[in-house]
Amino acid sequence: MSSHQVLAGFHAVTARLRHAPESIKELYVEASRRDKRMQSFIEQAQAANVRVRPVPADRLDGLANGTRHQGVVALALAHALAIDVDEVLDLLEDRSEPALLLILDGVTDPHNLGACLRTADAAGVHAVIAPRDRAVGLNTTVQRVACGAADTVPYIMVTNLARTMRRLKERDVWLVGTDDQAQAGMHQVDARRAMAWVMGAEGEGMRRLTRETCDELVNIPMQGSVESLNVSVASAVCLYESVRQRRTA
């Protein structure tokens, strides 16, 4: 991943201002925008000691490279919430609640990843894990769609996903994969324990080794004519089953 990244849109830049303002090297806003939302944003940036540079809209268009920016673009240092899986494993030991992780195998669409990160943040997920060779990184589109969640949920790209999953199992993290052909349903999972939901990409699903490394495979009940859900929607359904069970408990 590059040492610098472009953040576009109010949510993505505001989240960075809140969590790591020192990482923002340049902050540009549309000079012609003077509405309340922009004024509030500028005040927040100034309070964080980040210089704001008003520029024409076409300059922002060029910086955002096609991403919808809402009149706000920042050039920032890549902000790593976690270095590797070891750091996440150590983090989990310090938490009182059971681990809740999301593993994405083969998600290459930035809109899907952004939506997954946003849901992961809302559901209280401790980290999202993906393979380095078959996944999209935290690009500008992901940052925008995630609405700031890319700066709050650790996104860890690992060299060997199956090996990482085995290490999680050694720490008593139960791995539950979703598979249309599985006999058991997702509501039968004990989601109160330390666990990770494992999702495959649309169409291809999980790779064979990823599937075989899971402790349990379950299906998401489908009542209508469609055969499967978008991976971000499927992630939301499963993660909120964990939320439901844990709140009930």
pLDDT tens by residue, 19-38: 788 889 999 999 999 999 99
Total-model pTM = 0.73
192 class by beta-carbon count within 10 Å (0-12 exposed, 13-18 middle, 19+ buried)? middle
| pLDDT on residue 236 | 96
Query: Which of 73-87, 134-148, 189-203, 221-235 has the highest average model confidence (pLDDT)?
Result: 189-203
- Mean of per-residue pLDDT scores for the chain: 87
Predicted local confidence at residue 88, as pLDDT: 66
Detail the DSSP E strand segments found in 159-228: 174-178, 195-200, 216-218
Greater confidence, 67 or 85? 67
Tell me what pLDDT residue 201 has.
83
Check residues 225 and 98 and name the one with the higher pLDDT: 98
Whether residue 212 is predicted with pLDDT greater than 90 in this model: the reply is: yes
Q: For 70-101, write each residue's pLDDT tens digit.
A: 999 999 887 655 546 676 677 677 667 899 99
Provide the 3-class DSSP secondary structure of residue 51: coil
8 A C-beta contact, residue 29 and residue 37: no
Count other C-beta atoms under 10 Å from residue 142's C-beta: 25
Name 140's Cβ contacts closer than 8 Å, sequence gap at least 6: 5, 6, 7, 8, 64, 65, 67
Instruction: Give the pLDDT score at 134.
Output: 78
- Whether 247 has a pLDDT exceeding 60, the answer reads yes
> What angle do helix axes 10-19 and 36-47 make, rounded to 10 degrees?
20
Residue 106 has pLDDT above 90, yes or no: no
Percent of the residues in the chain that have a pLDDT greater than 90, as a whole number: 56
Q: Which of 16-25, 124-133, 189-198 has the highest mean pLDDT?
A: 189-198
DSSP annotation string for 59-85 = HHHHHHTTS--TTEEEEEE---S-SSH
pLDDT tens-digit readout, 128-170: 999 988 788 777 788 778 777 777 788 888 889 999 999 999 9
Helix (H, G, I), strand (E, B) or coil at 46: helix
Q: For residues 130 and 127, what is the distance between their CA atoms, to the nearest angstrom?
A: 10
Give the pLDDT band (50/70/90) at residue 1: very low
Question: What is the set of domains in the chain, with CATH numbers?
Answer: 4-77 (3.30.1330.30), 85-248 (3.40.1280.10)
pLDDT of residue 81: 53
CA 139 and chain centroid, separation: 12
Adjacent-strand bridge partners of 27 = 52, 74
